[in-house]
A and B are shown apart, each in its own frame.
Chain A
Amino acid sequence: MSSFSERVRALPHLGLGVSTEYGATDREHALDPVALREENPSWAAFLEVGVEVSVGLDVHAVRWAERGWPTTYHFLDVNLDDPEDLDETWLEAVRQTIAVLKPAWLCGDAGLWHLGRRDRGHMLLLPPVLLPEAVTPMADGLRALRAATGLEVLPENPPGAAFLGDLHLLDFFARVAEEADTGLLVDCAHLAMFQRARGLDPLTALDGFPCDRVVELHVAGGTVRDHQGLPWVDDDHGRDVLPDTWQIAEYITARATNLKAVVIECERNPIDVVRPLFGETAARWSAAAGATP
């Protein structure tokens, strides 16, 4: 098995992409990825498809893939640290989905996607326990999924308002990446949520973070809300990106030598509303990295 630094060279440069999941495009006022691509191919150079295998793919994702347009596979239903979750039935469904999408890689929030066993009504998303002994099971799961699919698997830092454990989120994922010898997906909006929840500066702990392992970034809008007097950031994928999120994205983009893809998560908004977001993200990526997105 070759190392990440060797494997990453074989990964395609995807550029700017958009995210979707089952039924997202059919919702009223939702973003139509095909229309966006037709308007500006570089803003929807690929489609990140959120997949819960029990639900499957919608017709929009299938048609995108049938056109031979690039995709990535974002899992929405696996607790990577739980060996029982990577059962053969689930893996076979993943392989069948891969056969349709032909994704460049797999990615997804590395946290708790469900309570109990995988079952109807059980789905949610919580961050991992940020303790050293939680690193190895997560790394094992990543390696197992990579071996089972033959594709790179990029763990993503999940969102949350409550984070348990004394490790910094970035330190936890740096350890996971090192142990699994894998690339990373950094969701800048999720990281901004973590930093705010811990009362930290947006760039805290990035100085020791292995940016060279970052293959994909997510940028998304968030809304500050109040819960019983506690301010928290709702990861609502709206049009308004927090300044913290931009700050994090620019810092990482300038240092992520293996960055291949940036997803703008805004699937619930019409094109007219989020058009400026694509232009701004492309400009910022270009300026920070000195590259053409």
Chain B
Amino acid sequence: MNPTPLRIRALQAVMLRLTVDPEFGAALYRGDPAARSVDVHGGPYTLTDADLTLFQAVDARAWTTDVYRRTRLVQSIIEEYAVTTAIIGVPMVHRFFATNRFAEVLGHRGSVAEAFGVWAEMQCSGSNREVSRLETAIARARRDFRPGGTGLVAAPGKEGTRVRTGTLEAWQQGLATLGGNPVQAAADGVRWTAAPAGPGWEQWLLERNNSGGLGVHALSAAQAGLMVFCRTPRPHSAVTRHARKLKVAKKEVRRVLRMMQANGLLVMRRS
């Protein structure tokens, strides 16, 4: 198959953004130079005058006739990020859909949930940030997505994360505070703040199981670091070097990597 031309992918990304982000739409229809720059795979692409004319030929109101599209997206985020939503508030979840981070999802075959998690973490500080990071890792574990390519890669559906001591417990407390229906409570605007985290670190393996639930197991710091490093497939040599950076003893690296493969944490993908 021929790849879709850059121009078409950029126009598609802009179309999609117009249906969700009226502020962007207003800027585009004004001809705002910043709105002409499209972050797209193989890009960036700058909308030409001819492209702008194509958009301006369409009544701007026509892009938002599905008035619930953004609400559905917000809802899908709250379903996976109830605690983070309670930390940052529903208006901030809406705000995400007017950010470049969201636009990047459109142009790069990204994941809204994963991109939101990364963005939301930056909106938080201290222990709240740690809880948000944990919830992002949970969202990643629910997916079995890994980018294409060869090399060592973290097993789909398994996510390693390293957070401050007490973060898992804090997240559970957050859920408990939101009550029997945490998603509804978060959507209704119930707010929550995490207690200060401990000084140390804890590492967790979050593992999607066959019944759709989530298993949580402890990992070593090196294992968690290697799983994060291998979210994208990496050459064995690069993983070895990274293990050394994570302070795995030189003579232990081979054994650690073998054990992680034997335990199904890492997978060797060949062409």
Contact = CB atoms under 8 A, between A and B. Distances in A.
B142 to A, nearest CB: 8
Interface string A98-127: 000000000000001001110111101010
B58 A164 contact: yes
Given A86-B1, A129-B11, A137-B1, A120 B55 contact: no
Contacts of A117: 109-111, 145
B61 A124 contact: no
Contacts of A6: none
A81 B63 contact: no
B55 A164 contact: yes
A228 B64 CA distance: 10
Given A137-B2, A166-B54, A116 B65 contact: no
A200 interface: no
B1 A141 contact: yes
Interface string B220-255: 000000000000000000000000000000000000
B227 to A, nearest CB: 21
A67 interface: no
Contacts of A131: 7-8, 11, 54
B77 interface: yes
B113 A134 contact: no
B63 A120 contact: no
Contact of B62 (A86, A116, A197): A197
Nearest to B16: A115
B58 A163 contact: yes
A230 interface: yes
Interface residues of A, number: 38
Interface stretch (B66-74, B121-129, B179-187): B66-74
A129 B8 contact: yes
Contacts of A93: none
A136 B12 contact: no
B6 to A, nearest CB: 10
Given A126-B15, A162-B15, A121 B2 contact: no
Candidate in A86, A116, A126, A166 with the most chain B CB atoms within 10 angstroms: A116
B246 to A, nearest CB: 29
Nearest to A126: B15
A83 B1 contact: yes
Given A112-B12, A124-B19, A227 B64 contact: yes
A162 B25 CA distance: 13
A165 interface: yes
Contacts of A140: 1-2
A212 B5 CA distance: 30
B5 A133 contact: yes
Nearest to A82: B4
B170 interface: no
Interface string B1-29: 11111011001100110110000000000
Contacts of B7: 131, 133
Contacts of B112: 115-116, 119, 121-122
Interface string B112-144: 110000000000000000000000000000010
Interface of A: 81-84, 86, 112, 115-117, 119-122, 124, 126, 129, 131, 133-134, 136-137, 140-141, 144, 161-166, 197, 225, 227-230, 232, 234
5 contacts: A124-B66, A126-B15, A129-B8, A161-B65, A227-B64
* The 4 A-B residue pairs with the shortest CB-CB distance in the complex, in nearest-first order: A121-B76, A162-B62, A140-B1, A83-B1
